[in-house]
Structure 1
């Protein structure tokens, strides 16, 4: 371990090593999303193997989401308390192991257990990712760096359909769980080698002893509640894309599993392009002199105005129309997820970023859980029209909340400040 550390430090300056670290996060997030997407690509297969209907499938998804929501807030606290490097390593090992375990299942209960374990592990990556970006990159690069990390998520969603379909068709459905899990363990080894010596605050353009909120004080800030409610409202649309869209294309638009492998990635590629492109636009606004937090909000406003297009989906049921509509919807969703994380970095002290993003992720997953249960019941009983009508208004509602409630939050002696604290002290 010492030799590998010396080698990485001697060959790479912090400025160069941060891009390797960014690349490892990218690939970790690729596999994070492949792992969670497996069940959506294999939805008809798993429904047949385990003898379940849409309500049973919704239950399987909710097992993942409930565990995901519960763990997300704790993951943010762990990142701020023990460091992004350590928590990211543990998270990659845990979610990869859970994916491998799912490949061995023979009953619905066993599959649900490992999907729950996946839900416990996967949230660790996201607050760790944001904390790494915050401490390794200056404000003018943060949205771009964060979008590169987060783009791994949708690259994972892009390759999940062809990869999972190919593995299932050429081997069996079990292999679709085994292969991504093993690749994840390889990434964990590389992370253990390269993530060394996080830089000082000055490296990323922050003040060395920036004041930070304690845990209890965070909950008394208006901006935290603005972030939480915005994610609770907007996240369900992205979760629909992840967990229901591949199955919808097979069951409502008539595509086969092989065809899903060929075209099911298109909305996720569009989502990735939209998320990265909007992040570059957001950073460009900052470089042109727009106040950083306002630049992020303007970017999110533009995306929210496009979100209502999803209401057209049930009226144009062909696969081509659905792919086009959800290419736009996906771009809206990732514009929000990529830039909302940077909103947190702009609005809160860096020592609080992991906790805020972790709590926000928990609220987003909770919103998705309620929406997911409703989707399963409505899809089974009435069809999809009501589902898409509700989805059409969620992002416009979220931007109203965000615009009114989120601002720059800085502790001061007049409001019970935490003072100048270390990251560990800030949350402890």
Structure 2
């Protein structure tokens, strides 16, 4: 393909392919939350059973994230992402073929094991192919696939569920994923040496040619612990949007599944567009001469002003019909911009702070902790949403402000010393 022979064009084809793969990733993930009432009825389970299935996914997701990072650092993004896409597609098909709750929970666990591979691989692909002045934008465009997936999911899944049984919708989504895996193998290649020399020389952490932290050395860095804490306290807000918002609109705000399909995509579209724009803004600050790490921190701090909107969510249901839904959608649209700006950019913070040979491992470790935070939070959502709603939303409203303090106090460029380093 002539398009792939040009490195400048190839790198953007890589972004497009990752973008499409992540759309598929989130579509498969959102099948459960959007079809929640249907699946609960099919398997005769209550909210505790639903929370159990979500936590099976999150626990497997958390366990596999660090392992995915190690695999990407060892074998590269091409092979690991290919196998990951195949595995989550098979898990989606398996979920559609399940005949009881236990089988379904098993395949959601397999989905959780497979999905982290694309996120660990994505940031390495972006880091080695893109210079710092484009890196946050390229990364956000890749990751925006998740938000577009959540935009498309309510519309497509609600429509498909009126034509096919819910089982067939799962199988169809898995088949599409298999096709995407084949495309990825055709598109991705390692960058030429002249591009790699430029992208790696821009970071202070990569200027010591060939050096990287050992596994033990990584755990002695302040930035690793800082990002661990950031993701642990901030990721649960986004997991709530993904796993509970569609059901919340149906069960607490009185919408039907079709009505959720009409409006449930709006926060995720705003989040995707807003996340890309805020990432591009941080790149613009870098092009104007600001230190890359400081530019990312400044942007993340400013968007965190939206966090307290979470606190008001349970009170919106007291508004007249349709006004309550409009208020919830508007509030969560701003919250989604904040969450996705953080999720897109925290991986770029890692890429700026660590040697490239450690980036996937650090992304995997920290995202795994974020999933653990999401699992713990999800447990309490399942138990307390109906009885202690206001208190739950109050907690969500302060989590990103706590993360801002950690961001400024605990993240910096990390350069391996001799005792902490391994040579290429």
User: TM-score per shorter chain, which class?
Assistant: over 0.9
Matched residues in 2 for 1:199 and 1:48: separation?
54
Aligned to 2:327: 321
C-alpha displacement of 1:39: 0.5
Change (3 A) 1:122 1:11: closer
Aligned to 2:102: 109
After superposition, the C-alpha distances for 1:151-183 in whole angstroms (9 at most, x for unaligned) are 001111110111111111111111221222111
Preserved contact between residue 216 and residue 420 of structure 2 (Cα < 8 Å):
no
Matched residues in 1 for 2:278 and 2:344: separation?
9
After superposition, the C-alpha distances for 1:8-63 in whole angstroms (9 at most, x for unaligned) are 6x852222111111111000000001111110001111111111111111101000
* Superposition map of 1:121-200 within 5 A: 121-200=114-193
- TM-score, scaled to structure 1: 0.94
Preserved contact between residue 99 and residue 181 of structure 1 (Cα < 8 Å):
yes
Aligned to 2:265: 265
Change (3 A) 1:11 1:34: closer
Classify the secondary structure of the residue corresponding to 2:421. Answer: coil
Aligned to 1:202: 197
After superposition, the C-alpha distances for 1:283-338 in whole angstroms (9 at most, x for unaligned) are 00101111100000001101212111110101112111110110011111001001
Matched residues in 2 for 1:60 and 1:199: separation?
44
* Unpaired segments ≥5 residues, structure 2: 202-206, 318-323
After superposition, the C-alpha distances for 1:249-282 in whole angstroms (9 at most, x for unaligned) are 0001111001111111001001111211110111
Matched residues in 2 for 1:72 and 1:339: separation?
18
Aligned to 1:4: none
C-alpha displacement of 1:73: 0.6
Matched residues in 2 for 1:270 and 1:346: separation?
27
Aligned to 1:40: 33
* Superposition map of 1:74-85 within 5 A: 74-85=67-78
C-alpha displacement of 1:72: 0.4
Matched residues in 2 for 1:140 and 1:55: separation?
46
Matched residues in 1 for 2:138 and 2:414: separation?
23
> Which of 368, 373, 377 is 2:374 aligned to?
368
After superposition, the C-alpha distances for 1:97-116 in whole angstroms (9 at most, x for unaligned) are 11111111110011101000
1:407 and 2:412 correspond = yes
Aligned to 1:287: 287
Preserved contact between residue 168 and residue 174 of structure 1 (Cα < 8 Å):
no
Matched residues in 2 for 1:390 and 1:346: separation?
30
Q: Moved runs in structure 1, 4+ residues, more than 6 A?
A: none
Change (3 A) 1:11 1:365: closer
Aligned to 2:363: 357
* Unpaired segments ≥5 residues, structure 1: 1-6, 423-428
Aligned to 2:321: none
Preserved contact between residue 47 and residue 382 of structure 2 (Cα < 8 Å):
yes
Aligned to 1:299: 299
Preserved contact between residue 167 and residue 175 of structure 1 (Cα < 8 Å):
no
C-alpha displacement of 1:203: 4.5
After superposition, the C-alpha distances for 1:123-147 in whole angstroms (9 at most, x for unaligned) are 1110100000001111111000000
1:213 and 2:219 correspond = no
Matched residues in 2 for 1:167 and 1:11: separation?
35
Matched residues in 2 for 1:175 and 1:396: separation?
42
C-alpha displacement of 1:383: 4.3
Moved more, 209-218 or 134-143: 209-218
Matched residues in 2 for 1:172 and 1:264: separation?
21
Classify the secondary structure of the residue corresponding to 2:254. Answer: coil
Matched residues in 1 for 2:263 and 2:248: separation?
13
Matched residues in 2 for 1:36 and 1:275: separation?
20
- RMSD of equivalent CA atoms: 1.3
Change (3 A) 1:94 1:273: same
1:385 and 2:390 correspond = yes
Matched residues in 2 for 1:80 and 1:28: separation?
20
- TM-score, scaled to structure 2: 0.95
Matched residues in 1 for 2:218 and 2:105: separation?
34
Matched residues in 2 for 1:50 and 1:417: separation?
51
